[in-house]
């Protein structure tokens, strides 16, 4: 049996319960302090690290009598980030294990506070932890580190779904999930369901088998120069046409990107415009919030027109090398954009819907300049 002192996010009881796989009532824990140490915020993300700090006493919890299975689960959750256990003496005199960060790769950035973390990150972290721990015994900790950005983005999408604007006029019927299994997970995921759902006449269906592609939320922005009356599109190779057997693999699209955990869709749109095309967005006009294919995908799009300056020399080849992006930009007059759309040469739904939205609002937007 092992006694462990936790000083950071595992002090959040719902998260601790998920990691250990049992309720708080079944965990032998006591509040305690670690003298001459402090929990510091990590520059690399919203998580803490413990650091020696003379005169400071770090509050936390001692988890008593942890089993080997408990330690395996904790090491799976923490171990992929190269945290290692070290023996320390806490304020009640116990000698306990404490997770310390690696010497390289994690940098302290001021004191870390549990309440501030809970206010911003706890709900998302609990959802992400459920997915992480679902892989316990099946995937390595190193796999989880590689998958973690997408796990967090999927968790953030779950939270965003709670504040969606639509649904005022549709049925709020009951859905009974009989069984749910994760069939595939890498960058994206695929879930299989057995479910029953309420019908419009109040009865319930028999058990149905369904599947859903699990993506993330995305921000999509069509840059529009109201003064020059033109837009910027990006061109890149796309997997959808490849998988479908379409010979036209390179597509013209608005700028788009995944909404990261802790990021608003608006901030994502502004960031992606800078990363994909070197643009500074002056103002965002929201077009819609919508599912592109709700019958089979969780993907959810936040679409914007971005008012921006588009001089002749803005086009070129761009994209982040770290994400293997190879993007070519194009300038189109408004008339050329509408010819593209009306001539059936635009094959991405966001581009089509945003072009028609722009046609409707164009005069108003040009009046803003």
The pLDDT score that the predictor gives to residue 110 is 85
Q: What are phi and psi of 153, to 5 degrees?
A: -70, -35
The pLDDT score that the predictor gives to residue 42 is 82
> Quick check: 107 pLDDT over 80?
no
Give CA angle at 290 (286, 292), nearest 5°.
125
Residue 111 vs residue 357, higher pLDDT: 357
Q: Which of 287, 247, 250, 284 is nearest to 267 (CA)?
A: 284
174 counts as catalytic: no
Q: Are 358 and 341 in contact (CB under 8 A)?
A: no
- Scored b (16 or more CB within 10 A) or e, 328-339 reads ebebbebeebbe
Model confidence at 105, pLDDT cuts 50, 70, 90, reads low
Task: Give me the residue label for tokens 């009598």.
Answer: 65
Q: Per-residue pLDDT tens for 153-179?
A: 999 999 999 998 998 999 999 999 999
> Quick check: 81 pLDDT over 70?
no
Q: What is the DSSP string of 275-320?
A: HHH-----EEEEEEEE-S-TTTB--EEEEEEEE----GGG-SEE--
The pLDDT score that the predictor gives to residue 210 is 97
Percent of all residues in the chain with a pLDDT value above 90, rounded to a whole number: 78
CA distance 222 to 303: 8
Q: Are 141 and 132 in contact (CB under 8 A)?
A: no
The pLDDT score that the predictor gives to residue 315 is 87
CB contact set of 107 (below 8 Å; sequence gap of 6+)? 42, 43, 44
Structural domains of the chain sorted by starting position, each given as residue range(s) with its CATH number in brackets: 2-153 (3.10.490.10), 175-214 (no CATH), 217-366 (3.90.79.10)
pTM (global) more than 0.85: yes
The pLDDT score that the predictor gives to residue 245 is 96
Average pLDDT of the chain is 92
> Quick check: 322 pLDDT over 80?
no
CB contact set of 287 (below 8 Å; sequence gap of 6+)? 222, 303, 304, 305, 353, 354, 357
* Residues facing residue 33 across a β-bridge: 59
> Quick check: 87 pLDDT over 70?
yes
Q: Per-residue pLDDT tens for 273-286?
A: 999 999 999 999 99
CA distance 188 to 150: 7
Query: Of 194, 323, 335, 339, which residue is the catalytic one?
Result: 323
Burial (Cβ within 10 Å: 0-12, 13-18, ≥19) of residue 225:
buried
The pLDDT score that the predictor gives to residue 9 is 93
Secondary structure element (H or E) that encloses residue 141, with its range: helix 141-161
Q: Are 112 and 53 in contact (CB under 8 A)?
A: no
Could you tell me the two tokens for 195?
């479910």
CA distance 83 to 49: 9
Model confidence at 317, pLDDT cuts 50, 70, 90, reads confident
Chain centroid, CA 269 distance in Å: 14
Mean pLDDT for the stretch of residues 68-73: 92
The pLDDT score that the predictor gives to residue 79 is 64
Q: Per-residue pLDDT tens for 8-48?
A: 999 999 999 999 999 999 999 999 999 999 998 887 777 88
Q: Per-residue pLDDT tens for 114-140?
A: 999 999 999 999 999 999 999 999 998
Q: Per-residue pLDDT tens for 189-224?
A: 999 999 999 999 999 999 999 999 999 999 999 999
């Amino acid at each position: 049996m092992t006694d462990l002192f936790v000083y950071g996010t595992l002090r959040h009881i719902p998260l601790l319960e998920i990691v250990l796989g049992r309720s708080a009532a079944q965990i032998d824990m006591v509040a305690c302090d670690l003298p001459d140490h402090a929990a510091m915020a990590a520059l690399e993300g919203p998580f803490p690290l413990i650091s020696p700090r003379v005169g400071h006493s770090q509050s936390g919890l001692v988890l008593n009598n942890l089993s080997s299975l408990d330690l395996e689960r904790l090491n799976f959750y923490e171990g992929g980030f190269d945290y290692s256990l070290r023996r320390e003496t806490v304020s009640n005199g116990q000698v306990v294990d404490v997770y310390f960060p690696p010497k390289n790769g994690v940098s302290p950035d001021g004191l870390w506070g549990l309440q501030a973390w809970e206010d911003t990150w706890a709900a998302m972290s609990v959802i992400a932890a459920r997915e992480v721990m679902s892989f316990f015994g099946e995937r390595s900790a190193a796999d989880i580190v590689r998958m973690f950005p997408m796990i967090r983005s999927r968790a953030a999408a779950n939270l965003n779904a709670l504040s969606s604007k639509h649904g005022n006029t549709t049925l709020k019927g009951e859905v009974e999930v009989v069984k749910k299994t994760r069939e595939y997970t890498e960058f994206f995921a695929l879930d299989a369901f057995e479910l029953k759902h309420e019908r419009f006449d109040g009865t319930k269906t028999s058990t149905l088998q369904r599947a859903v592609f699990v993506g993330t939320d995305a921000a999509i922005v069509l840059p529009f120069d109201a003064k020059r009356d033109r837009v910027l599109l990006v061109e890149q190779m796309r997997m959808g046409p490849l998988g479908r057997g379409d010979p036209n693999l390179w597509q013209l699209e608005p700028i788009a990107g995944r909404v990261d955990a802790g990021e608003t869709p608006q901030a994502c749109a502004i960031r992606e415009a800078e990363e994909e095309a070197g643009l500074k967005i002056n103002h965002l006009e929201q077009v819609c919030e919508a599912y592109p294919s709700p019958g089979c995908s969780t993907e959810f799009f936040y679409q914007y027109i971005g008012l921006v300056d588009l001089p002749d020399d803005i086009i070129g080849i761009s994209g982040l090398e770290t994400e293997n992006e190879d993007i070519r930009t194009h300038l189109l007059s408004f008339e050329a954009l509408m010819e593209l759309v009306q001539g059936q040469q635009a094959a991405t739904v966001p581009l089509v819907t945003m072009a028609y939205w722009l046609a409707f609002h164009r005069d108003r937007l040009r009046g803003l300049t």
